[in-house]
Amino acid sequence: MSGNSDKQSSFEQKLKTTDQLLQTILSEAPMIIFSADKNGVFSFSSGKVLERLGLLPGQVVGLKIRDVYKDFPDIIEQSDRALKGEEVRSVVMVEGVYFETLYRPIFDEKGEVESIVGIAFDVTDQKKAEKERDIFFDTTLSMICTANMQGYFTRLNAAWGKILGYTDEELLSHPFLYFVHPDDVDATLEEMKKLSQGLSTINFTNRYRCKDDSYKWINWISVPYENQIYATAQDVTENKENEIKQQELLKELERSNNDLEQFAYAASHDLQEPLRKIKNYSDLLSQKYFGQLDDDAQKYIEIITRASGRMQGLIDDLLTFSRISSRGKEIRAISVKAILNDVMDNLEYAIMKNKATVSLPDNFPIIQADKSQICQVLQNLISNSIKYKADADPVIKISITELENEWMFEIKDNGIGIDMDYAEKIFVVFQRLHSQFEYGGTGIGLALCKKIIERHNGKIWLKSEIGKGSSFFFTLPK
């Protein structure tokens, strides 16, 4: 007997220990575990999460669900459904805490609900994160969406509707290629291929058809993740249209420049013939009637000869000017030394006659240039420095500085200087600051320099002060 009672007390002891263990697990579990009888009266409640409601384990036992949660019609409705035999899952907020709850009915042998058990998890952090994500999703001005690899949007934020004019249903019910401009479909498919290979696409631009049948340029940043595409998009229509307009303007400008060059060429070319006739006939007149004409007539003939000579100069310069782009030679590598040798040879007489000193640069880099055109630029600048000299003999210094992407040339003189108010004007064709009596010239030299330097993708400018001399600069890309 005593053996049996010993066994029993050890069995009871084990049961007690197991029960205590179970109680501890249930009361410490990060959830609420509860049960209720078929009348909806709590028969058990435990779990750490009860603390969030300010309840102790077992505190509600003996109370009806509909009394404890009388202010929560959702809980009453869900527990009633469970009491009628339905398994119910729901998310409800109680006292600022989101609970995801599972109600499960327990049936007796007759198949009638005998009781219900429930488990409720605190999902507040997850719900808050979802809420925050939704707020970001719907308040950003950018279009945000997710799409699947089959080519359908799966979720879109409100910006889509505002920008394209469709409802979410319209956008979700077609493959997104349906909205893409026919000319952009191939490029879009190419981007889709990259995404399906796990590559992100950054700054891809295509056109989307709006509800009103107009098109908008959309710029995309898309990232693939677990068979979904996550994308932000921006309406860049205004920028794109400006860009297109600018390109059109540029083309138009190039076209009108070409027209103008052709006109200048044709006009100057055609003017040569009648001019030659004027010159020849006035020469003939003064030779054939030499001594027979009075002084006035002789003077008039001289004026005609001088004016036609000057006009010949203008026409020659205009012809050179109009030929810069059309008759320019290839731009290729050439040493500055070779260029300066030619320039100094050509200017030898003018330098000597004007007692000018020209100092050459310390370095002679290899540059990318049309040799004869850059010769012409240096020749024009140096001969201007000689022509527009002050009282002192001309001293001209040429230097070359290496910059990051270009060579900068400087031609510095000690001449009469230029009022910087005219710094732009003197680069325009026929613009001169002096009369023909003071200094001869056609006013084309600097315009020619500008056109040549621009053909080489460089810039030309000057720094000067009246009475102190001038520095002309130009750059040539390396």
Q: Is residue 441 a contact residue for ligand ADP (CB under 6 A)? A: yes
Q: Which of residues 223-262 bind ligand ADP (CB under 6 A)?
A: none
Residue 367 φ/ψ, nearest 5 degrees: -120, 165
Residue 465 φ/ψ, nearest 5 degrees: -140, 135
Q: Which residues contact 258 (CB under 8 A, 6 or more apart)?
A: 325
Please classify residue 180 by burial: count the beta carbons closer than 10 Å to its beta carbon, then call 0-12 exposed, 13-18 middle and 19+ buried. buried
Cβ proximity to ligand ADP, 374 vs 446, nearer residue? 446
List Cα–Cα distances, 200 to 84, 151, 235, 343, in angstroms.
52, 16, 19, 57
Judged by CB under 6 A, how many residues of this single chain contact ligand ADP? 20
Q: Is residue 376 a contact residue for ligand ADP (CB under 6 A)? A: no
**Residue of the chain from 57, 105, 415, 458 that contacts ligand ADP (CB under 6 A):** 415
**Residue of the chain from 34, 388, 407, 474 that contacts ligand ADP (CB under 6 A):** 388
Q: Is residue 432 a contact residue for ligand ADP (CB under 6 A)? A: yes
**Residue of the chain from 83, 470, 475, 476 that contacts ligand ADP (CB under 6 A):** 470
**Residue of the chain from 375, 442, 473, 476 that contacts ligand ADP (CB under 6 A):** 442
**C-alpha span between 351 and 345 (Å, rounded):** 10
Q: Count CB neighbours of 74 within 10 A.
A: 14
Q: Which of residues 316-335 bind ligand ADP (CB under 6 A)?
A: none
**Residue of the chain from 40, 57, 394, 445 that contacts ligand ADP (CB under 6 A):** 445
**C-alpha span between 143 and 447 (Å, rounded):** 51
Which range binds ligand ADP by CB under 6 A, 249-257, 263-271, 443-451, 453-461? Answer: 443-451
Q: Is residue 416 a contact residue for ligand ADP (CB under 6 A)? A: yes
Cβ proximity to ligand ADP, 58 vs 443, nearer residue? 443
Element of type H or E holding 335: strand 332-335
**Residue of the chain from 351, 418, 453, 460 that contacts ligand ADP (CB under 6 A):** 418
Q: Is residue 384 a contact residue for ligand ADP (CB under 6 A)? A: yes
Q: Is residue 313 a contact residue for ligand ADP (CB under 6 A)? A: no
**Which residue's beta carbon is nearest to the bound ligand ADP?**
441
One-character DSSP codes across 129-194: HHHHHHHHHHH-SSEEEEEETTSBEEEE-HHHHHHH---HHHHHSSBGGGGB-GGGHHHHHHHHHH
The residue whose two tokens read 């190419």 is: 190
Which residues are near ligand ADP by CB under 6 A?
380, 384-385, 388, 413, 415-416, 418, 426, 432-434, 441-447, 470
